[in-house]
């Protein structure tokens, strides 16, 4: 028997869930607030780990296509100190496919494939279940009832309140993202500096990270400790020199404030900020480490909605594996709502255990990467990089 299943959100979690169900010929309604797949820029590059994101793609039957699209050379990692001295320069070994990179947009299109997403269907809330099922209320006032509602709607999930009162809190670290296009022709020196993969420079309580995407595109993340209202409260200060905060809409003001924050760093490193186009402000929020909830029949969460954590290369991977594993459990469940509920309950236990481990690792990692002692960042990489 096929149950009425909805997944809210078409990010990595929701799409992996829907795509694996599709592989099992199991229908699912994918409800997405964005009016179209390309409404927002898709974001930067993601490295998909062998036992996580790649495993999810395998479950979806998409591993071979991923291998065609992904960039194993993107696993290269170079670390500089603030005066530009190269401290580490790791290159992937031939045939190393442990963590190849893929552009988010390419991954989204790969997962979307034949899926029939219901675009422009933002969910406002999920109401308590009744004998008829779990009612989903849409932003436009409509309501529809399902046997299982899966919240894969990210950090600010509208499904989460149906199972948990937890809300994300600010980590104290903000990323400001910028990007450079066509680096190989327009900024060849920066193209060489960044190389095929990532470049990272660590200073006191701040870092600059640049990552090559496909098509000569480079994303740059200025990372630093700051109050949450850095951009909204003009009385707050961003650094010990007590400079006033810039207006986020004023590109040149943001650029000069970042150049001031990284004052004294090597000129080629600062060029990443000098040539960046628009700036996007991303204060990092997280859910409590080991976030769990009392199981609620008919509703569950996946990905960031369940376990938002610092962005240290795990979130999308976990989101995809959550989605793929829940889909397999649902497809394999015996007929009847009781069996479906047991499958979801068992999945939640597995997801909580895995996500809890990663939330601890990434929370500790963020403390070391944006740290008063920059040697901590290097030590962390030495621990995780193959020698
Ligand atoms: C700067 C940065 C860099 C990162 N780098 C990496 C990395 O290298 N590797 C990695 O593994 N992870 C990385 N992450 C983390 C990763 O982006 C997330 O963990 C991942 O996107 C979570 O996927 P998701 O599907 O759970 O949620 P999301 O990707 O947030 O998708 C949620 C979807 O739900 C939709 N939605 C939201 N609300 C509603 C609603 N009410 N109704 C309907 N639809 C709704 C949204 O439009 C969206 O499509 C990074 C994060 C950041 C911020």
Q: What is the mean pLDDT of residues 111-120?
A: 97
Tokens of 378: 């290097």
Written as six digits, the tokens of 189 are: 């020196």
Whether residue 291 sits in one domain with residue 279: no
| Residue 73 DSSP class | G
Tell me, yes or no, if the pTM score tops 0.75: yes
Contacts 24+ apart (CB under 8 A), 253-258: 254/176, 254/279, 255/279, 258/176, 258/222
Q: Which atom of ligand 1 is nearest to the CA of 306?
A: 26
Domain C-terminal end among 269, 285, 301: 285
238, pLDDT greater than 80: no
**Which tokens hold the place of 73?**
């050379």
Question: What are the structure tokens assigned to 181, written together?
Answer: 């296009």
Q: Are residues 317 and 210 in the same domain?
A: no
Examine the domain organization and report whether 147 and 183 are in the same domain.
Answer: no
**160 and 113 belong to one structural domain:** yes
Per residue in 311-351, pLDDT tens? 999 999 999 999 999 999 999 999 999 999 999 999 999 99
**Separation between Cα atoms, residue 200 and residue 336, nearest integer Å:** 52
Task: Say if CB 211 and CB 44 are below 8 A apart.
Answer: yes
pLDDT at 233 > cutoff 60: no
Can you give the pLDDT at residue 386?
65
Structure token pair of residue 61: 């039957």
Residue 354 lies in a domain: yes
* Average pLDDT estimate for 155-161: 98
Does the beta carbon of 283 lie inside 6 Å of ligand 1? no
Distance 12 CA to ligand 1 centre (A): 7
Inside any domain, residue 382: no
Average pLDDT for residues 273-290, to the nearest whole number? 95
Q: Closest by alpha carbon to 219, among 230, 208, 228? A: 208
Gap between the Cα atoms of 181 and 94, Å rounded: 28
The domain containing residue 359 runs over which residues? 5-74+99-167+287-369
Q: How far apart are CA 385 and CA 110, in angstroms?
A: 29
With a 6 A CB cut-off, is 316 part of the ligand 1 pocket? yes
308 CB near ligand 1 (under 6 Å): no
**273 and 352, same structural domain?**
no
Of 105-109, 245-249, 286-290, 371-375, least confident by mean pLDDT is 245-249
Q: Which atom of ligand 1 is nearest to the CA of 309?
A: 19
The first and second tokens of residue 249, run together, are 């809409």
Residue 178, classed as helix, strand or coil, is strand
Contact status, residue 104 vs residue 48, Cβ threshold 8 Å: no
Q: Is the pLDDT of residue 244 over 60?
A: no
Top pLDDT among 182 and 239 is at 182
In a domain, 117, yes or no: yes
How much is the pLDDT for 239? Answer: 44
Domain termination residue (choose one: 285, 314, 335): 285
Question: Beta strands 280-286 and 169-180: pairing type?
Answer: antiparallel
* Beta strands per DSSP E along 110-168: 117-118, 123-126, 134-138, 143-146, 148-151
Could you tell me the CA-to-CA distances from 178 to 109, 211, 345 in Å, in that order? Answer: 23, 11, 41
Q: Is the CB of 17 under 6 A from ligand 1?
A: no
For residue 151, the CA-to-ligand 1 centroid distance in Å is 12
Query: Into how many domains does the chain fold?
Result: 2
Ligand 1 centroid to Cα of residue 308, in Å, is: 9
Q: Would you state the pLDDT for residue 42?
A: 86
Cα 110 to its chain centre, rounded Å, is 17
The whole-angstrom separation of Cα 234 and Cα 19 is 46
- Give the whole-angstrom CA distance, residue 9 versus residue 122: 9
Residues 178 and 229 in one domain: yes
Q: Is there a domain that residue 361 lies in?
A: yes
Average pLDDT, rounded, for the chain: 94
Q: Whose CA is nearest to atom 31 of ligand 1?
A: 11
State which of 48, 154, 304 you would mutate to test the pocket of ligand 1, scoring each by most atoms of that ligand within 8 A of its C-beta: 154
> Could you tell me the CATH number of the domain that includes residue 235?
3.30.9.30
pLDDT of residue 384: 86
Q: What string of DSSP letters covers 157-201?
A: -SSGGGT-----EEEEEEEEEEEESSHHHH-HHHHHHHTTSEEEE
The pLDDT, as a whole number, for residue 235 is 42
For residue 383, give both structure tokens. 């621990």
Q: Say whether both 104 and 248 belong to one domain.
A: no
Residue 387 has pLDDT above 70, yes or no: no
Q: Collapse the DSSP code of 135 into the 3-class scheme (helix H, G, I; strand E, B; otherwise coil) and give the result.
A: strand
Could you tell me if the CB of 274 is within 6 A of ligand 1? no
243 has pLDDT over 70:
no
H helix intervals, 228-314: 251-261, 267-274, 303-307
Q: Give 11's pLDDT tier (boundaries 50, 70, 90).
A: very high
Residue 316 CA to ligand 1 centre (angstroms) = 7
The answer to whether the CB of 359 is under 6 A from ligand 1 is no
- Decide whether any atom of ligand 1 lies within 6 Å of the 153 Cβ: yes
**Residue 159 sits in the same domain as residue 293:** yes
Residue 380 lies in a domain: no
Are 133 and 259 part of one and the same domain? no
In a domain, 28, yes or no: yes
Whether ligand 1 lies within 6 angstroms of the CB of 110 is answered as no
Kindly report the CATH number assigned to the domain that includes residue 58.
3.50.50.60
Identify the CA nearest to 12 among candidates 85, 106, 118: 106
44 and 110 in a common domain: yes
pLDDT at 128 over 80: yes
Q: Decide: 175 in ligand 1 pocket, CB within 6 A.
A: yes
From 285, 317, 332, give the residue that closes a domain: 285
Q: What mean pLDDT do residues 23-40 have?
A: 96
Spatial separation of the C-alpha atoms in residues 141 and 197, rounded to whole Å = 46
Read off the pLDDT of each residue in 54-60 and give the average, rounded to a whole number.
98
- The answer on pLDDT for 230 being more than 70 is no
Q: Is the pLDDT of residue 231 over 70?
A: no
Contacts for 125 with CB less than 8 Å, ≥ 6 apart: 137, 158, 161, 162
Q: Note whether residue 160 is domain-resident.
A: yes
- Report pLDDT digits (tens) over 70-114: 999 999 999 999 999 999 999 999 999 999 999 999 999 999 999
Let me know whether 160 and 60 are in one domain: yes
Distance 137 CA to ligand 1 centre (A): 22
pLDDT band at 236 (very low <50, low <70, confident <90, very high): very low
pLDDT value of position 232: 47
Same domain, 63 and 138: yes
pLDDT higher than threshold 70 for residue 147: yes
Strand-strand pairing, 143-146 and 148-151: unpaired
Asked whether residue 143 is assigned to any structural domain, the reply reads yes
CA of 14 to the centre of ligand 1 (A): 10
Q: Given a cut of 80, is residue 229 above it in pLDDT?
A: no
């Amino acid at each position: 028997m096929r149950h009425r299943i909805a997944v809210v959100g078409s990010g990595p979690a929701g799409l992996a869930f829907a795509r694996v169900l599709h592989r099992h010929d199991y229908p699912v309604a994918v409800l997405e607030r964005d009016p179209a797949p390309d409404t927002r820029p898709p974001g930067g590059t993601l490295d998909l780990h062998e036992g996580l994101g790649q495993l999810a793609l395998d479950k979806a039957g998409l591993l071979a296509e991923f291998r065609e699209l992904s960039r194993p050379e993107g696993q290269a990692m170079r670390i500089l100190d603030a005066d530009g001295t190269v401290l580490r320069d790791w290159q992937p070994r031939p045939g190393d496919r442990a963590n190849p990179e893929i552009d988010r947009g390419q991954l989204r299109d790969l997962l979307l494939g034949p899926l029939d997403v219901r675009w422009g269907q933002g969910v406002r809330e999920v109401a308590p279940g009744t004998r008829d099922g779990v009612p989903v209320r849409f932003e436009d006032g409509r309501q529809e009832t399902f046997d299982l509602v899966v919240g894969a709607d990210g950090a600010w999930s509208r499904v989460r309140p149906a199972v948990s009162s937890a809300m994300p809190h600010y980590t104290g670290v903000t990323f400001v993202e910028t990007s450079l296009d066509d680096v190989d022709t327009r900024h060849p020196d920066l193209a060489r500096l960044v190389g095929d993969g990532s470049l990272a420079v660590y200073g006191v309580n701040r870092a600059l990270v640049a990552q090559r995407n496909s098509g000569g595109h480079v994303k740059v993340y200025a990372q630093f400790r700051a109050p949450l209202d850095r951009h909204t409260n003009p009385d707050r200060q961003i650094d010990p020199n007590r400079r006033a905060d810039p207006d986020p809409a004023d590109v040149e003001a943001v650029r000069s404030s970042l150049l001031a924050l990284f004052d004294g760093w090597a000129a080629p490193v600062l060029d990443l900020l000098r040539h960046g186009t628009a700036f996007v402000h991303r204060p990092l929020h997280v859910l409590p480490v080991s976030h769990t909830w009392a199981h609620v029949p008919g509703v569950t969460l996946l990905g960031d909605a369940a376990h938002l954590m610092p962005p240290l290369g795990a979130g999308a991977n976990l989101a995809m594996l959550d989605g793929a594993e829940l889909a397999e459990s649902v497809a394999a469940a015996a007929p009847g709502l009781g069996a479906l509920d047991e499958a979801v309950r068992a999945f939640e236990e597995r997801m909580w255990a895995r996500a809890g481990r990663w939330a601890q690792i990434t929370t500790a990692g963020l403390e070391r990467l944006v740290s008063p002692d920059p040697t901590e960042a290097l030590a962390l990489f030495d621990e995780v990089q193959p020698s």
